[in-house]
Amino acid sequence: MYKGSARAYTNIALIKYWGKKNEELILPMNNSLSLTLDAFYTETSVTFEPNQTADHFVLDGVVQDEKATKKISRFLDLAREKAQVNWGAVVESRNFVPTAAGLASSASGLAALATASNAALNLGLDDRGLSRLARRGSGSACRSLFPGFVEWEQGEDDETSFAQQIPSNDWEQDLAMLFVLINDQQKDVSSRDGMRRTVATSSFYPGWLASVPTDLAHAKSAIATQDFTALGEVTEANGLKMHATTLGAVPPFTYWSPDSLVAMNLVRQLRQIGLECYFTMDAGPNVKVLCQRKDEDALKQALSQHFAPERLILAHAGYGATVI
Ligand code: PMV
């Protein structure tokens, strides 16, 4: 029996990954840049057993169905192939997210599974190898291996597409991100389906793609000079452009719900009265608000006029994935 356990934290992109140029290898259309956070994480253990033929996946104590297990099996196949083992595995995963979060995190989950598999099977992967492996499970997972600011270099093949930490003199410790958890009845469009549809059909997609290198350069220079205004402005603009591509898709769709718009408007109003903060969103209705740590209490206070306190969760810069 081979066993390994690991913890990995979630990350939120400031410059978004949106669209794949290779679905099988999960090679993205563009570079992305994220902040790893401390508030949400996943702990996963994987046990490969000699007499086991099938894989089993238990998430938060619940045995998962065939579809969810298949995704895990496909990922484990990559690790098994590297180790030249064909044993089945039991994967037990726990998501540590505050109650009522509604935040399923494939990034922390697959980063934890990659790290646990590396330990269990003695794959001996270094940071780059681990990031490449995690990428095959879920694109954004390749960024969750590392703390602080992280850039995922899109690359052109399996070897060249991986993430690495961006030097920042620990500036991320001065920042905070407030999650506004928005209850939404709408049926989700997964990030995978959403990307596929916008790449294939949205007339706005080429405009998005053309604008990313400039946004990325601005974000990196803002990090280098510790310019919060510049980082916030490019984060908000980049996220809005990504979401605009979904409106041009056929058929069109959006991840925004009425309360997402309420949160976005509040952020703009707060800025006008001097509380500097900026929003971003991913493939769901939740709004994430970037601010400086010194303003986090005031921001939470202001947003709690409109959103219940248990729907507001504060996060700070988090840690890289570790074996536990
Ligand atoms: O890696 P996925 O399939 O969870 O896609 C993530 C896509 C976004 O969250 C919308 C953007 C990003 O870069 O994280």
Q: In a mutational test of the pocket of ligand 1, which residue from 15, 17, 198 has the highest number of ligand atoms less than 8 Å from its CB?
A: 17
Q: In a mutational test of the pocket of ligand 1, which residue from 140, 153, 198, 288 has the highest number of ligand atoms less than 8 Å from its CB?
A: 140
- Which protein residue's CA is at the shortest distance from atom 9 of ligand 1? 282
> Measuring CA to CA, which residue among 154, 145, 76 is closest to residue 117?
76
- For the domain with range 2-170, which CATH number is right: 2.40.10.120, 3.50.50.60, 3.30.230.10, 3.40.250.10? 3.30.230.10
Strands (E), the chain: 2-15, 20-22, 27-28, 32-49, 56-59, 62-63, 88-96, 149-153, 162-165, 175-180, 277-281, 287-292, 312-315, 322-323
Ligand 1, residues at Cβ distance < 6 Å: 13, 16-17, 32, 106-107, 138-140, 191-192, 282-283
- Cα(32) to centroid(ligand 1), Å: 10
Sign of CA dihedral 188, 35, 177, 68: positive
What is the predicted pLDDT for the residue at 184?
72
- 300 C-beta neighbours (distance < 10 Å), count: 18
- Cα(246) to centroid(ligand 1), Å: 14
Strand 32-49 versus strand 149-153 pairing type: antiparallel
Per-residue pLDDT of the chain (324 residues; tens, 9 = 90+): 999 999 999 999 999 999 999 999 999 999 999 999 999 999 999 999 998 989 999 999 999 999 999 999 999 999 999 999 999 999 999 999 765 455 667 899 999 999 999 999 999 999 999 999 999 999 999 999 999 999 999 999 999 999 999 999 999 999 999 999 997 777 789 899 999 999 999 999 999 999 999 999 999 999 999 999 999 999 999 999 999 999 999 999 999 999 999 999 999 999 999 999 999 999 999 999 999 999 999 999 999 999 999 899 999 999 999 999
Query: Can you give the residue ranges of every domain in the chain?
Result: 2-170, 171-315
What is the Cα–Cα distance from 314 to 224, expressed in whole angstroms? 24
- Please write the tens of the pLDDT for every residue from 49-77: 998 989 999 999 999 999 999 999 999 99
What DSSP assignment string belongs to 209-274? HHHHHHHHHHHHHHHHHT-HHHHHHHHHHHHHHHHHHHHTSSS---S--HHHHHHHHHHHHHHHTT
What is the Cα–Cα distance from 300 to 314, expressed in whole angstroms? 8
In what helix (H) or strand (E) does residue 207 lie, and over which residues does it extend? helix 205-225
What is the predicted pLDDT for the residue at 183?
78
Query: Residue 135 carries which side chain, given as an amino acid letter?
Result: R
Atom index in ligand 1 nearest the CA of residue 12 equals 14
- Cα(49) to centroid(ligand 1), Å: 32
- Please write the tens of the pLDDT for every residue from 220-272: 999 999 999 999 999 999 999 999 999 999 999 999 999 999 999 999 999 99
What is the Cα–Cα distance from 199 to 92, expressed in whole angstroms? 34
What is the predicted pLDDT for the residue at 102?
56
Distances (CA, A) of 175 to 124, 158, 161, 273: 34, 33, 28, 20
Half-sphere exposure of 323 (CA within 13 A, CB side): 15
Strand 27-28 versus strand 62-63 pairing type: unpaired
- Cα(17) to centroid(ligand 1), Å: 6
What is the predicted pLDDT for the residue at 70?
96
- Cα(228) to centroid(ligand 1), Å: 23
Q: In a mutational test of the pocket of ligand 1, which residue from 16, 33, 75, 288 has the highest number of ligand atoms less than 8 Å from its CB?
A: 16
What is the Cα–Cα distance from 5 to 323, expressed in whole angstroms? 6
- Cα(13) to centroid(ligand 1), Å: 8
- Cα(225) to centroid(ligand 1), Å: 27
Atom index in ligand 1 nearest the CA of residue 242 equals 10
Atom index in ligand 1 nearest the CA of residue 139 equals 1
What is the predicted pLDDT for the residue at 98?
65
What is the Cα–Cα distance from 193 to 51, expressed in whole angstroms? 36
- Cα(107) to centroid(ligand 1), Å: 8
- Please write the tens of the pLDDT for every residue from 164-178: 999 999 999 999 999
Strand 88-96 versus strand 56-59 pairing type: parallel
Atom index in ligand 1 nearest the CA of residue 141 equals 1
Is the domain defined by 171-315 classed in CATH 3.30.70.890? yes
- Cα(306) to centroid(ligand 1), Å: 27
